[in-house]
Amino acid sequence: MLFRSHIVFSLFLYLFYLDLSQASFASKVVFGIFLFLATIFVDIDSRKSKIGNHWFFRPFQWVVSHRGMVHSLLFAFFLSFLLFLVDQTASLGFFVGYLSHLFLDFITREGIFLFWPLYRKKISLFGVKTGRILEEIFFVLVLLVDIWLLFGRFITFV
């Protein structure tokens, strides 16, 4: 999926979380920062992605394939666990952001190494083609829901 699709979907999850969570303001901010960080981070294995096109990720990309081990549940658990040892809220936000990214790539035709290393093949849930019409529709719909969640509560119908 495209960068912007990942962002609008993560924003949707974050707004949903903000509505439900009883956590302090500081915790909500930390959760949000790490949620978006993870969403963006997952594509470091692609030299075409917003984050992965930085030269210092090249050596890493020589070792791992795009949508390979970084796009796996195990990697999501592993990194979130490391973060958990430092900060639980950050870890939870990171985990949600990571899963959000994996889920969206999982529904694309290209698929991901979801169960790496147990199953070393890309698997895909639907045939959504990255950057094509279905993704555009998805993007616009989620964006509209985001706008509604952001501003809808301020609009009162008299």
- Contact map string, positions 3 to 42, toward Zn ion, x by CB under 5 A: ----------------------------------------
- Least CB distance to Zn ion at residue 105 (A): 4
- Least CB distance to Zn ion at residue 126 (A): 15
61, 51 contact by CB (below 8 A): no
User: Measured from the CB atom, is 9 or 89 closer to Zn ion?
Assistant: 9
Q: What is the DSSP string of 56-74?
A: GGHHHHHHS-TTSGGGSHH
Q: Any contact of residue 135 with Zn ion (CB under 5 A)?
A: no
- Least CB distance to Zn ion at residue 146 (A): 20
Query: Residues 124, 6, 17, 27: what is their CA dihedral angle, to the nearest 10 degrees?
Result: 120
Radius of gyration of the chain (CA): 16
User: Measured from the CB atom, is 51 or 143 closer to Zn ion?
Assistant: 51
| Binding residues for Zn ion restricted to 100-129, rule: CB under 5 A | 105
Cβ burial 13-44 (10 Å sphere, 16+ → b, else e) = bbbebeeeeeeeeebbebbbebbbbbbbbbbb
DSSP category for residue 155:
-
Out of 32, 40, 43, 94, the only residue in the binding site for Zn ion (CB under 5 A) is 43
Interacting residues toward Zn ion by CB under 5 A:
43, 105
